[in-house]
């Protein structure tokens, strides 16, 4: 397997982990007070936007020629870190 494909697979596995974590946080948010529920809704939307951007960048990375993927990896890494930050912030807000 190529380094690019291994990287893509690793990021896709991480996306699946984040989706599972968001589902668990969603259950916690339903039990929270109204203010936290509103904050959750806003953060969830932000997460979904960032996740969509990461998925788009992964799709573009898959389509790029082998010699261009290293350059595109930086954009994917930036998007991956944005999703990770969004998940951390939601988790901190809901779980304290």
Q: Could you give the count of Cα atoms lying within 13 Å of 71 in the half-sphere of its Cβ?
A: 6
Residues in Cβ contact with 72 at an 8 Å cutoff, skipping those fewer than 6 apart: 57, 60, 61, 64
Question: Which domain does 16 fall in, by range?
Answer: 3-95
Alpha-helical regions (H) of the chain: 3-31, 34-63, 69-95
Residue pLDDT, tens place only, 33-88: 888 888 888 888 888 998 899 889 888 888 876 777 777 788 888 888 988 898 88
Give the number of domains in the chain. Answer: 1
Predicted TM-score (pTM) above 0.85: no
Q: Kindly report the length of the chain.
A: 96
The token duo for 52 is 């969509």
3-state secondary structure of 64: coil
DSSP 68: G
């Amino acid at each position: 397997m190529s380094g690019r494909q291994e990287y893509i697979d690793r990021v896709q596995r991480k996306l699946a982990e984040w989706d599972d974590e968001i589902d668990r946080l969603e259950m916690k948010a339903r039990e929270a007070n109204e203010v936290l529920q509103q904050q959750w809704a806003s953060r969830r939307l932000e997460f979904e936007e960032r996740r969509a951007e990461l998925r788009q960048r992964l799709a573009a990375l898959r389509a790029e020629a082998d010699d261009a993927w290293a350059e595109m990896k930086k954009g994917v890494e930036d998007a991956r870190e944005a999703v990770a930050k969004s998940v951390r912030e939601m988790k901190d807000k809901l779980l304290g």
